[in-house]
Structure 1
Amino acid sequence: MQLKPNAFRLHETARGVETMSRFALAVLALASGVYTYLGVRGLLDGSASFVFFAAIIYSAAVSVAIYAFWTYMMRFIPLVISGVQRLSLFATMLIGCVMIVAMSSWLNAAALAGSAALEQHMAVTLQGYAEDLDNAHANALASQSLLPDVERAAARFAALAQDERESGALTGTQGSGSVVQLLSQMSTQMTQLAGTISGSREEAAALFADGSDRLATMRELVSTPGQIEPRADAFQAEAVQLSAVIAALEQTDIAASVKRAATDLSAGFIAPVADGRVGDLAVRQNQVMETVRSSVDAQSMALVAAADEILASPSVEQRRFVPLSSAEAVIRYWSDFIPSWAGAISIDLLPVVLVLVLMIVNDAMRREAETLKEAETITAAEMLRAMALYRRMEAEGAAEAAAALGPAIDDHEKPASEEKTVAEDGTVTPIDAAQRKRGDGPRPA
Structure 2
Amino acid sequence: MSSQLNKLAILVLALISVLASYVGLDQSLPYSTLWWKLFAAALAAGVGIAIYVFWTSAFEAATDPEQFRYRRAGWIATLVGCVFLLGMSSWWNVAATGAPEARRAALYETLQQGEEALARIRASSNSHTIFIPRIDGLAAELRKLETCESDGGCVTGSRGKGGISQLLNQLADKAETLSTSLRNQDKERTEKAASGSVCLRDLRSALAKNKPEDQITETASEAFDCLNGVIADLAANAPLLAISQEMNGFSSGLILPTSIKSDNQKTAAENILEGLEDRAKSIAADASALVKEANIKPLSLPRMSAMKAVVLYWDSIVPSWILGISLDLLPLLLLSFRATNQASGRGQPGPLGDKMTVAEIKTALEVTDFLADALARQNKVIAPPETDTAPNVSPVNRIRYRTVDDTPDYWEEPFILEALPDVEEREKH
TM-score (norm 1): 0.70
From 335, 349, 353, the counterpart of 2:315: 335
2:275 is equivalent to residue 294 of structure 1: yes
Post-superposition Cα deviations, 1:271-299, rounded to whole Å, max 9, x if no partner, equal 95997666xxx357525633552343134
Post-superposition Cα deviations, 1:197-236, rounded to whole Å, max 9, x if no partner, equal 1221232133223323322322232233443123213322
For 2:152 and 2:55, the matched residues in 1 are separated by 106
**Contact 2:61–2:75 (Cα < 8 Å) also in 1:** no
The match for 1:305 is 286
For 1:82 and 1:298, the matched residues in 2 are separated by 98
For 2:168 and 2:76, the matched residues in 1 are separated by 91
**Structure 1 residues 316, 165: closer, same or farther in 2, change over 3 A?**
farther
Query: Gaps spanning 5+ residues in structure 2: where?
Result: 351-429
For 1:91 and 1:146, the matched residues in 2 are separated by 75
For 1:238 and 1:193, the matched residues in 2 are separated by 34
The match for 2:206 is 221
From 96, 102, 114, the counterpart of 1:111: 96
2:351 is equivalent to residue 351 of structure 1: no
The match for 1:143 is 128
For 2:282 and 2:212, the matched residues in 1 are separated by 59
The match for 1:199 is 184
**Structure 1 residues 339, 146: closer, same or farther in 2, change over 3 A?**
same
For 1:119 and 1:340, the matched residues in 2 are separated by 14
The match for 1:61 is 46
**Contact 2:164–2:265 (Cα < 8 Å) also in 1:** no
2:346 is equivalent to residue 361 of structure 1: no
Structure 1 residue 351: Cα displacement: 1.3
For 1:37 and 1:159, the matched residues in 2 are separated by 82
2:169 is equivalent to residue 184 of structure 1: yes
For 1:289 and 1:84, the matched residues in 2 are separated by 107
Aligned residues: 350
More off after superposition, 334-343 vs 167-176? 167-176
TM-score (norm 2): 0.72
Matching residue's letter, 2:115: A
For 2:152 and 2:205, the matched residues in 1 are separated by 66
Post-superposition Cα deviations, 1:213-272, rounded to whole Å, max 9, x if no partner, equal 322322232233443123213322332233123212323642122123223337x48695
**Contact 2:155–2:268 (Cα < 8 Å) also in 1:** no
From 13, 16, 20, the counterpart of 1:35: 20
Structure 1 residue 22: Cα displacement: 0.8
Higher helix share: 1
From 115, 118, 126, the counterpart of 1:130: 115
Query: Gaps spanning 5+ residues in structure 1: where?
Result: 1-15, 371-445
Structure 1 residue 43: Cα displacement: 1.2
Matching residue's letter, 1:323: R
Structure 1 residue 84: Cα displacement: 5.8
**Contact 1:178–1:285 (Cα < 8 Å) also in 2:** no
More off after superposition, 332-341 vs 196-205? 196-205
Structure 1 residue 74: Cα displacement: 1.1
The match for 2:245 is 260
From 153, 156, 165, the counterpart of 2:141: 156
**Contact 1:105–1:345 (Cα < 8 Å) also in 2:** yes
For 1:83 and 1:182, the matched residues in 2 are separated by 108
Structure 1 residue 172: Cα displacement: 1.7
Structure 1 residue 156: Cα displacement: 1.2
Structure 1 residue 66: Cα displacement: 0.9
**Contact 1:271–1:289 (Cα < 8 Å) also in 2:** no
From 18, 21, 36, the counterpart of 2:3: 18
Matching residue's letter, 2:309: A
Post-superposition Cα deviations, 1:51-85, rounded to whole Å, max 9, x if no partner, equal 43223212111111111111111110123566665
For 1:341 and 1:43, the matched residues in 2 are separated by 17
Structure 1 residue 305: Cα displacement: 1.7
Structure 1's consecutive aligned runs of 4 or more residues displaced over 6 angstroms after TM superposition are 273-278
Structure 1 residue 349: Cα displacement: 0.8
**Structure 1 residues 316, 155: closer, same or farther in 2, change over 3 A?**
farther
3-state SS of 1:265 partner: coil
For 2:301 and 2:211, the matched residues in 1 are separated by 21
3-state SS of 2:235 partner: helix
3-state SS of 1:318 partner: coil
**Structure 1 residues 166, 82: closer, same or farther in 2, change over 3 A?**
farther
**Structure 1 residues 164, 22: closer, same or farther in 2, change over 3 A?**
same
More off after superposition, 325-334 vs 151-160? 325-334
User: Which of these two proteins has the greater Rg computed from alpha carbons?
Assistant: 1
**Contact 1:182–1:289 (Cα < 8 Å) also in 2:** no
**Contact 2:203–2:216 (Cα < 8 Å) also in 1:** no
